[in-house]
Amino acid sequence: MGYQLYDINGQIVTQHNLQDKGVWCRKGASKEVVFVDKFGQDLGLIINPAKQDDPFVPDLLNTTNGLLADLKTQNTPFFQAKPRFNYDPQYTVVFNGKDRGRYKEKYPEIEIYFAVDWQAIKFKGSNTIEVKPMTGIWFIPFPKLDALLDEAPFHYYVQRRHDQLGNAKGSYVLYLLNPMFKQVK
């Protein structure tokens, strides 16, 4: 079944568009750099200095408490959240299934920041689902997130069923209005 995504102006949104648009993007700069430039001082976050030597370490370092942090940028609502999991797509984000195990093993105290900027606000497939434009930053310490994940629904990616590139086979579905999340911007 095919579908189309649309932006606030009614224009079709492609996956390429989602990489090039949004408040977190700036030509030639990573989303993490733009995020830190815009919000780092207020949130006490800098780019993790270890990133210079290892691109696979967490993105950020909290200078107020010394904890590592990771940025999860979300540009597309999980439009199917309502019919599949009874979550309002306006406030639904996903968390990569592979990250949970990696954080538990290597970074159990890491902080997670979900940076939301809905670039696609309308889904048209067999039905039409719309959300309002929304930007914001939600924070959750990984120990709290890990507890939420025990009960969170898991969405398997059909297109990655036979993936051999190491991509995650699915993601946990999370509701930002859960009181465990704190909106910080």
Q: What is the pLDDT of residues 41-100, one digit of tens each?
A: 999 999 999 999 998 899 999 999 999 999 999 999 999 999 999 999 999 999 999 999
Q: How many CA atoms lie within 13 A of 137 on its CB side?
A: 18
Asked if pLDDT for residue 19 goes beyond 50, the answer is: no
**pLDDT value of residue 55:** 86
Domain residue spans in the chain? 4-183
What average pLDDT does the segment 19-36 reach? 65
Percent of the chain with pLDDT over 70: 84
Q: Are 115 and 35 in contact (CB under 8 A)?
A: yes
**Amino acid identity of 133?**
P
Q: Find the helix or strand (DSSP H, E) in which 20 lies.
A: helix 15-20
Q: What percent of the chain has pLDDT over 90?
A: 77
Query: Highest mean pLDDT: which of 9-23, 45-59, 135-149, 166-180?
Result: 135-149
Question: Is it true that domain 4-183 has CATH number 3.40.50?
Answer: no
Confidence (pLDDT) at 14: 80
CA distance 36 to 65: 16
Query: Rounded to an integer, what is the distance from CA 57 to the centroid of its chain?
Result: 17
Residue 137 in contact with residue 150, Cβ under 8 Å? Answer: no
Q: What is the pLDDT of residues 103-131, one digit of tens each?
A: 999 999 999 999 999 999 999 999 999 99
41-77 as b/e, with b when 16 or more CB fall inside 10 Å?
A: eebebebbeebeeeeebbbbbbeeeebbbbbbbbbbb
Residue 44 · residue 64 · CB < 8 Å: yes
CB neighbour class for 120 (10 Å; exposed up to 12, middle 13-18, buried from 19): buried
